[in-house]
Amino acid sequence: MRWDIRRTGTLVLLILLPACSWLRSGVSPEEVRLATADEVRACSERGTVDVSVYDRPSELKRGEAALAGELLSLARQSAVQLGGDTLVPHGAIVDGSRVYGVYRCRR
């Protein structure tokens, strides 16, 4: 069997191609925005995420704003994994969890 340049090139591509898997495309969690249902009418729906944090019952409960911020941060990370760039909250925070709709609005 003769080893030629085409086989060498193919072998190099097969070895190096998986190394590109660390490259990210799309948005970062910080770029995911929060919107209302009216604002996402022209967007494509990517799914829903149900995020939660441990909200232990105690006298020193964390503030509602801190809890909402932690849930939003988790939802943004999940939105990126689903290929979304916009979140819409579905309902209120209940027992430390909240459901968000994930949408892709930017092209």
Residue 60's domain spans which residues? 27-104
Bridge partners for 44 per DSSP: 104
Going by pLDDT thresholds of 50, 70 and 90, the confidence category of residue 27 is: confident
Q: What is the pLDDT of residues 3-17, one digit of tens each?
A: 566 666 565 555 655
Asked if residue 19 belongs to a domain, the reply is no
Asked if residue 71 belongs to a domain, the reply is yes
CA distance 101 to 105: 12
CA distance 51 to 96: 8
CA distance 91 to 67: 15
Asked if residue 60 belongs to a domain, the reply is yes
Asked if residue 6 belongs to a domain, the reply is no
Task: Tell me how crowded residue 87 is: count the other CB atoms within 10 A of its CB.
Answer: 23
Burial class (CB in 10 A: 0-12, 13-18, 19+), 86: buried
Question: What is the CATH number for 62?
Answer: 3.30.110.70
Count the domains in the chain: 1
Q: What is the pLDDT of residues 42-54, one digit of tens each?
A: 999 999 999 998 7
Asked if residue 95 belongs to a domain, the reply is yes
Asked if residue 21 belongs to a domain, the reply is no
What local confidence, expressed as pLDDT, does residue 17 receive? 56
Asked if residue 33 belongs to a domain, the reply is yes
What local confidence, expressed as pLDDT, does residue 23 receive? 45
Q: What is the pLDDT of residues 73-101, one digit of tens each?
A: 999 999 999 999 999 999 999 988 999 99
Asked if residue 7 belongs to a domain, the reply is no
